[in-house]
Amino acid sequence: MQERIQRLREIKHAASLGGGEAKIAKEHEKGKLTARERINLLLDPNSFHEFNMLIKHKLGTPGDGIVIGHGTIDNRKVCVYAHDATVFGGSQGYYHGRKVYKIHEIALDMGVPIIGLNDSPGARVIRPELAGSDDPYRVSDEKHAGVIFYMNARCSGAIPQISAMLGNCTGGSVYSPALTDFIYMVDNLSHMFITGPRVIKSVLGEEISMEDLGGAKVHCQMTGVADFRVKNEADCMQEIRRLLSYLPSNWREKPPHKDTGDSPDRFAETLENIVPEQPTKGYDMHLVISDIVDGGEFLEVKPEFAREIIVGFARLEGNTVGIVANQPKVLAGCMSVDSSDKQARFIRFCDAFNIPIILLVDSPGYLPGKSQEYSGIIRHGAKVLYALSEATVPKIAILMRKVYGGAALGMGILPGFGTDLIFAWPTAEVGAMGAEQAVALFYGKEIKDAPDPEAFKSQKVQEYKTHYADPLALASEVTYILDIIEPRETRRTLIQSLRLVQSKKIETVPKRHGNIPL
């Protein structure tokens, strides 16, 4: 028996080196970690249990380019897979695909998050005369890497799916992460594209670097494909752990509670100094969020993309909430094509995983212009309306200053979007547009013909503001704004409101699924 045990240990040790020490050294020279080093950095110490390590070890390609298994993060169970670039470059072969499919099945069956550490060029290219079981496109069953997208879709909304891009990834190795909930990229290490620079040059004659084509900055700032940009792999693993602390393990559970030590009775004393009374003056909404939430801790999602809207996770009384807030500092807080996509997707994630939504509202409306109309602002804006209407989790809105035109729809202020509780500050304004614009539209001829045009205009602007921009007058005429609160009361009001609506239950209409305007 001892001889067999010793042989097992030797074989497992050799398999743990993947393609061997020389190839590991090459990865280190590139500034990269190996698959197992990444996993050990991500998970709690000594918690990783690997599956199918010995697949194809007799052929000298142990694991077939993928490491899979389970472990814990902060003592919570997770499943994980990591491409092994030392074996076939981490490319997808048959057994490779079977393994990654299997770990998704296990994660879904067990109701635990799945984390993918991606470093793969996609499908393995096999010389025709050598094609066989290693060819991902020549398979004997349906559970292989070519249809991992099917498992991504099955897991979607059931368990959190998190992807980290840790090398040059193309083809299927970017489509699968694109179907997951969150994507991390590392500066100067991560690259995502469907066709790489060499193919582009051969087909189009264009020369472009991998960084300019699909680097972390491109996908975090321009395309919005990725959610988080980090400095190195160690930061990436730490940030994944941080994200998971806000999330439940599956759709049946609520997010974990954390004792933050921040009093629920604390007043947010600095808010009235942060937000200017004049509705056309900008300010940084991050300062508002920081003053409201527990300990000022806020995990922003897509912070570099569509910055006119802010979305992310925080805690109130130790419980996870999703924040959706206009950013007056960028595009005056206007809503846009890109911000609509960002907002709608975040709302739907929160709704899938029992995370209440807090809406901090201060927007002049949707961004006007030919570019936005030609880009389909109607279709993209409709995604937000759909997401808000579909969401059954608690939704609480704070109308801080202005909400004009379509922004009242897109931020769930008007009745009919299922926003449970709506509160307003004394600076709140609701209307089709701002006072100046409305008066110019309705009284343009009268202003022009008046003996004193400026005095007449000022009078009409004041009348408009008295009727539409006075929240006290508004509160006497509408029931959907439940109370006018002082800015300093915002945190306490939100916490008390969440206590009220935390047990909210809504029966949805029986159907297969809706048809969101994608």
Structure tokens at 456: 């007449």
pLDDT band for 42, please (50, 70, 90 cuts).
very high
158-162, 171-175, 440-444, 482-486: the lowest-pLDDT one: 440-444
The pLDDT score that the predictor gives to residue 236 is: 98
Determine the Cα–Cα distance for residues 59 and 123; give it in Å rounded to an integer: 19
Q: Which two tokens stand for residue 377?
A: 């602002």
Residue 225: band (very low, low, confident or very high) from pLDDT cuts 50, 70, 90: very high
Tell whether the model's pLDDT for residue 445 goes beyond 90. no
pLDDT band at 458 (very low <50, low <70, confident <90, very high): confident
Rounded percentage of the chain residues whose pLDDT exceeds 90: 73
Is residue 238 over pLDDT 70?
yes
* pLDDT at residue 455 in the model: 74
pLDDT of 508 reads: 85
- Mean pLDDT for 406-412 is 92
172 is catalytic: yes
Mean local confidence (pLDDT), 146-174: 92
Please confirm, yes or no, whether 406 is among the known catalytic residues.
Answer: yes
**What pLDDT band is residue 200 in, cutting at 50, 70 and 90?**
confident
Cα distances (angstroms) measured from residue 323 to each of 150, 232, 286, 350, 432: 30, 27, 11, 10, 25
19, 69, 172, 214: which one is catalytic?
A: 172
Q: Over the chain, what is the mean pLDDT?
A: 91
- For the chain, domains (ranges, CATH) are 2-244 (3.90.226.10), 271-433+471-501 (3.90.226.10), 435-468 (no CATH)
d(CA 424, CA 301): 26
Q: Say which of 171, 224, 296, 418 is annotated catalytic.
A: 171
The three-class DSSP label of residue 323 is strand
Q: What is the pLDDT of residues 333-342, one digit of tens each?
A: 999 999 999 9
70-109 pLDDT, tens digit each: 999 999 999 999 999 999 988 888 889 899 999 999 999 9
- Catalytic pick from 65, 69, 322, 406? 406
Asked whether the predicted pLDDT for residue 481 surpasses 80, the reply is: yes
Q: What is the pLDDT of residues 114-128, one digit of tens each?
A: 999 999 988 887 655
Single pTM value for the model: 0.92
Q: Which residue has the higher pLDDT, 444 or 510?
A: 510
Contacts (Cβ under 8 Å, ≥6 apart) of 267: 488, 489, 491, 492
Res. 146: pLDDT tops 60: yes
From the list 35, 332, 352, 407, the catalytic residue is 407
pLDDT for residue 205: 87
